[in-house]
Amino acid sequence: MRFFDELRAEHEVIESVLGALRTWASGLETGADTAADGARFLRFFRVYAGELHHDREEAILFPALEKSGLPARGPVTTLVHDHHTMAETLNRLESALTAGDHAAVADHARDYSHALWAHIDAETSVLFPESESRLEKKGIRDLPLREPTDSERDVLADAARLTAAYPPMEPDTVRGDGCVFCPAYGDTCRGIEGEWWNEWEWEEMDDHIASS
């Protein structure tokens, strides 16, 4: 589906700028005179990751999944909660930047990047393929698309400038595919199997294991 192709492409942009954010924050903490660029990073993540990417998930994808018969719990609840908690972390980063507490800026940037990298992994390896498959089984071949706003185009263009100025660092956290790598797994979410699978899907898995 083109809808999921666009979400995956947005992830690539977000990951690149996320690495650049960490490079910028690290330099700021060690004395670089680049505090003014903090507003550009904040605008990117609030507009591109928030108003574009996260909003399309919450306003289009998640309601479509619920209409297809999936319960609005587990992965959906976890990911919406992630959106809110990451937005709060950005607010704390902004407050620290305004206060000139560059060590706290670096701490919040690290917390934000670790949360967002885990969030992206959960969506890319579990949510997107599972959702695409289930929607197609219900006869839904694509979801509504929209053109980016002028503001979203502006921050996307600035993303290229930010990553050129601050070469993205590699993730400094454990990453991986599947529910077991999600921080919520076993805590607030039982994983895709425990939350979404029905008895027939469990039986198919048992048959598959038996024949392998």
Domains and their CATH numbers in the chain: 2-211 (1.20.120)
Distance CA 47, CA 154 (A): 10
pLDDT in tens, 22-42: 999 999 999 999 999 999 999
How many other C-beta atoms lie within 10 A of the C-beta of residue 157?
Answer: 9
Residues 6+ apart with CB under 8 A from 132: 1, 4
Percentage of residues of the chain with pLDDT beyond 70: 93
What is the residue whose two structure tokens read 């509504």? 144
Question: What number of CA atoms fall less than 13 Å from residue 184's CA on the CB side?
Answer: 24
Here the tokens at position 4 are: 């999921």
> What pLDDT shows up at residue 209?
40
* Res. 208 pLDDT band, cuts 50 70 90: very low
Distance CA 210, CA 212 (A): 6
Mean pLDDT of the chain: 91
Point out the least confidently predicted range of 8-12, 143-147, 161-165, 201-205. Answer: 201-205
DSSP conformation class of 37: G
Q: What is the mean pLDDT of residues 172-198?
A: 88
pLDDT in tens, 39-70: 999 999 999 999 999 999 999 999 999 988 88
Here the tokens at position 35 are: 């505090």
> What pLDDT shows up at residue 205?
57
Percentage of residues of the chain with pLDDT beyond 90: 75
Q: What is the pTM of this model?
A: 0.91
CB–CB of 190/72 below 8 Å?
no
pLDDT in tens, 75-107: 899 999 999 999 999 999 999 999 999 999 999
CB–CB of 24/37 below 8 Å?
yes
